[in-house]
Amino acid sequence: MKVLMSGNEAIARGAYEYGVQVATGYPGTPSSEILENVARYEEIYTEWSTNEKVAMDAAIGAAYAGKRSMVGMKSVGMNVAADSFFYAVYTGVRAGLVIVVADDPGMFSSQNEQDNRQYARFAKMPVLEPADSQESKDFIGAALELSEEWDTPVILRTVMRISHSASPVALRERDAKDGRATAPFERDPHRLVCTCVWAKHQHPVIEERLKRLSGFANTYELNRLEWGDRRLGVVAGGAAYNYAREVFPEASFLKLGMSYPLPYELIRELADGVDELLVVEELDPFLEEQIKAQGIDCRGKDIFPAYGELTPAVIEKHAAEAGLLPQEQVKGARELPLPELAGRSPIFCPGCPHRSTFYVLGNKMKETIVTGGIGCYNLGALPPFDATDTMGAMGASIGVAHGLDIAEIPDPSVAVIGDSSFFHAGIPPLLNIVHNGGNSTVVILDNRTTAMTGHQDHPGVAETLTGKPGKEIDVEEVVRACGVTDVHKVDAFDIELIEETYRDALAYDGPSVVIVEGPCYFVGPGAQGTYDVDLETCIACGTCFKLGCPAIKLSKEVNEKTGRAKAEIDPVLCVGCDMCAQVCPVEAIHPVESEE
Amino acid sequence: MRTVETMNFMITGVGGQGTILASDILAAVGVEAGYDVKKSDILGLAVRGGSVLGHVRWGEQVHSPIIPQGRVDYLLAFEILEGMRRLSQIRPGGTVILNEQEIHPASVTSGPATYPEPDAVQKALSAATPSAFRIRALEIAQDLGSTKVVNVVVLGALSSFLPVGTESWEKVLEERVPSRFTELNLKAFHSGRRLTKERA
């Protein structure tokens, strides 16, 4: 029986079928649905860990204890986890350990476009790349076997278009034999204690292992020569394989399931058997550089970009320019008499508790420099708020604000961070400010969830991923325990009070924290009725539009003096948060009386 | 083996309009009808009121989950501006189903941009294909009692054009929506289907 599954669902199914017993991770698009789906299999212990490094260490520990383990994260999560997976390559594992990372070529929801195949080479472990949902499932089994056979963690690298694409998958039952029974911990400090004295003996072993793995790759079933037309040979794996197949349906292919270490004999065989060898890979010239280093001639990034997705459209265009395809085969988008099209950036949802903060910072406190971080709240950088000045990584807002402070900028500044980010990476920089006598103001937007990635739990939430009760860590207690004494709490839905509190915190001589409390609409109590605009009273001043609420749209009625459109509220979208009524200077916005 | 031309469906709208469930259903119907199917959605950041885009492909063997440029056979636009944004991807003779709903982006409400005028929309549609259908799915959904079924009304309107019997659609809808909403969704599907049945 075949079932339609996304790549992420299939990875989770793979964990189930191939006897994974422990799965950890931290949410991040496009990886979040992996663990959410693993959590549906009660045979597997599953948790959202506080951050990717914590998740990685926990999975390593479980693998040391003899349990098949999996850790899941998005592209940039690997940077957080890296500190830990490097040592695991040295210590080895006692049961399969697979690191699932979902990269984001095209940067649909990431701050950079890093190619995590590089970490395989950097940390010296194999990486597998599935090309569809069936492979996403099967390769989990393959990764666990490789991991156990070669005593190393193995990366399974997917990309957004594999993780969030669906295709049919053939299912099998869980093989309980694949999992390992619980046993007392077996001590072996010479392997598991990575002190330089012992670990340096392991490095030559790792180098030797990589050489043998490269030899093994030539016969590995995941790497497959597909002979076709001998004029063109293509080396490709993962998503790029599908795109290249679409564009060059007749060509010969080396379809790589394992992208590191590489099967050089197979690559030579393809190169020798075709007129021209082409490497089609998204992002870095990872395969190409290694192939060229072996003295094998090929083309790749001289034709295709090293950024963005290599969609069929991109491959077609560049291949045609390079003379690999007839120009007439490239269709392209059509020329149509289209009107000028307004852009549509993502925006805070109706009822979002973050709206008030960025309305205040972007309109009432424009002089304030705002450092931001990762989460829905980085939408505060976009119109109509244009409030956020810096944004780079989880937890970075607090450290960067401290940097501005010690650089003695004359401007007021606040660091903004979400609750999940605060637990993930915000506590060490807050401790740093307090310990070093800094004077920053930190705003923690406590919306009771990890919102952007789909409402996952974090240490401040009372329920864990598997629905069990979790100890709810109080943000204020943590802040006070970090040594902050000027701590404020304010209701996210009271705009005036928010402004007043931010000004008070900025005026305080010493570190301040403002905790803005208001649940994400999707985890809160739901709609509180709807509002509408009294068009007689509305003066079309545009103040409510500055809230950037999707429910507030242009009315067909205009102010006859200014010619500007009045406001209208879409009853389908409005959830009654009251913010527009608070900012309206002429009190034209009111709750709609309930008919009941 | 018979050769089946791959059918390419592009689904576009604004985050929150139910486009992702629509592409899930469309993909599942393709499987039910015996096709190889690939589907790709954008999730995460874009879902927060941004422009969303899904690809669904049915065929004998589908490699890429993304539709090559300019080869969309069916464009399902849940919102006018987003429909215009993707219109140039429709192949000549392809079918467009445009739900006549306006959702104003911030660039229109608080910026200098303007929302497409109805005449300009009609002109672009006529130039794109003779097979363009403007429907009012939101009104139909509201009449049925839930704005949430806009997506199923749109799918119903699409179904008239496809070589798949209504029983496949009904089966998938029954599997995919909570049982207390099954009847509502089946009504929404058939209401949408009636809009295009005679013109397909």
Q: In the block, which residue shows the tokens 């997976």?
A: A85
Does the domain spanning A224-328 belong to CATH 3.40.50.920? yes
**End-to-end Cα spacing for chain B:** 28
Mean of all residue pLDDT scores within chain A: 96
Distance CA B87, CA B129 (A): 10
> Which residues in chain B have their CB less than 8 angstroms from residue A456's CB?
none
Instruction: Enumerate residues 349 to 388 of chain A having a beta carbon within 8 A of any beta carbon in chain B.
Output: 349, 376, 379, 382-384
Across the interface, do B63 and A242 touch by the CB < 8 Å criterion?
yes
Whether A517 shows a pLDDT value over 90: the answer reads yes
The pLDDT-based confidence of A180 (bands split at 50, 70, 90) is low
Does the domain spanning B7-105+115-197 belong to CATH 3.40.920.10? yes
User: Is the distance from CB of A310 to CB of A280 less than 8 angstroms?
Assistant: yes
A4 to chain B: closest CA residue: B28
Per-residue pLDDT of chain B (200 residues; tens, 9 = 90+): 345 789 999 999 998 889 999 999 999 999 999 999 999 988 666 667 788 999 999 999 999 999 999 999 999 999 999 999 999 999 999 999 999 999 999 899 888 899 999 999 999 999 999 999 999 999 999 999 998 999 999 999 999 999 999 999 999 999 999 999 999 999 999 999 999 988 76
Averaged pLDDT, A438-455:
95
Contacts of residue A514, Cβ cutoff 8 Å, sequence gap at least 6: A441, A442, A443, A444, A487, A488, A489, A490, A501, A502, A505
Instruction: Enumerate residues 147 to 186 of chain B having a beta carbon within 8 A of any beta carbon in chain A.
Output: 147
Q: Which of A10-19, A331-340, A380-389, A524-533 has the lowest average pLDDT?
A: A331-340
Omega before A384 within 30 of 0, i.e. cis: yes
Across the interface, do B14 and A344 touch by the CB < 8 Å criterion?
yes
Averaged pLDDT, A382-386:
94
In angstroms, the separation between the Cα of residue A545 and the nearest Cα of chain B is 5
Across the interface, do B87 and A338 touch by the CB < 8 Å criterion?
yes
Q: Is B27 on the interface with A (CB under 8 A)?
A: yes
Q: In the block, which residue shows the tokens 């068009």?
A: A535
> Which residues in chain B have their CB less than 8 angstroms from residue A4's CB?
27-28, 31, 37, 39
Across the interface, do A109 and B116 touch by the CB < 8 Å criterion?
no
* B50 → closest Cβ in A166, A344, A453: A344
Read off the pLDDT of residues A60-86 as tens digits, 9 standing for 90 and up: 999 999 999 999 999 999 999 999 999
> A284: which 2 tokens?
């870095």
> Which residues in chain B have their CB less than 8 angstroms from residue A387's CB?
none
Residue of B160, B176, B186, B188 lying closest to B27 (CA atoms) = B176
- Collapsed DSSP state (helix, strand, coil) of residue B187: helix
- C-alpha torsion sign, points A190, A194, A198, A202: positive
pLDDT recorded at residue A198: 93
CATH architecture of A354-517: 3-Layer(aba) Sandwich (3.40)
Best residue of B86, B104, B117, B150 to probe chain A, by most A CBs closer than 10 Å: B104
pLDDT recorded at residue B5: 86
Ramachandran area for residue A529 (φ above 0: left; ψ -120 to 50: alpha; else beta): left
Fold of A531-591: Alpha-Beta Plaits (3.30.70)
**CATH number for the segment(s) A2-217:** 3.40.50.970
* A344 → closest Cβ in B51, B66, B117: B51
> Higher model confidence: residue B110 or residue A399?
A399
Averaged pLDDT, A374-384:
94
In angstroms, the separation between the Cα of residue B77 and the nearest Cα of chain A is 15
B102 to chain A: closest CA residue: A553
> Which residues in chain B have their CB less than 8 angstroms from residue A553's CB?
102-104, 109
Beta strands at A413-418 and A441-446: parallel, antiparallel or unpaired: parallel
Read off the pLDDT of residues A452-507 as tens digits, 9 standing for 90 and up: 999 999 999 999 999 999 999 999 999 999 999 999 999 999 999 999 999 999 99
Q: Where are the domains of chain A?
A: 2-217, 224-328, 354-517, 531-591
Question: So what's the ipTM on this one?
Answer: 0.92
pLDDT recorded at residue B1: 37
- Collapsed DSSP state (helix, strand, coil) of residue A252: strand
A375 to chain B: closest CA residue: B45
pLDDT recorded at residue B2: 45
Read off the pLDDT of residues A125-145 as tens digits, 9 standing for 90 and up: 999 999 999 999 999 999 999
Residue of A269, A271, A272 lying closest to A288 (CA atoms) = A271
Q: Is A334 on the interface with B (CB under 8 A)?
A: yes
> Which residues in chain B have their CB less than 8 angstroms from residue A333's CB?
69-70, 88-89
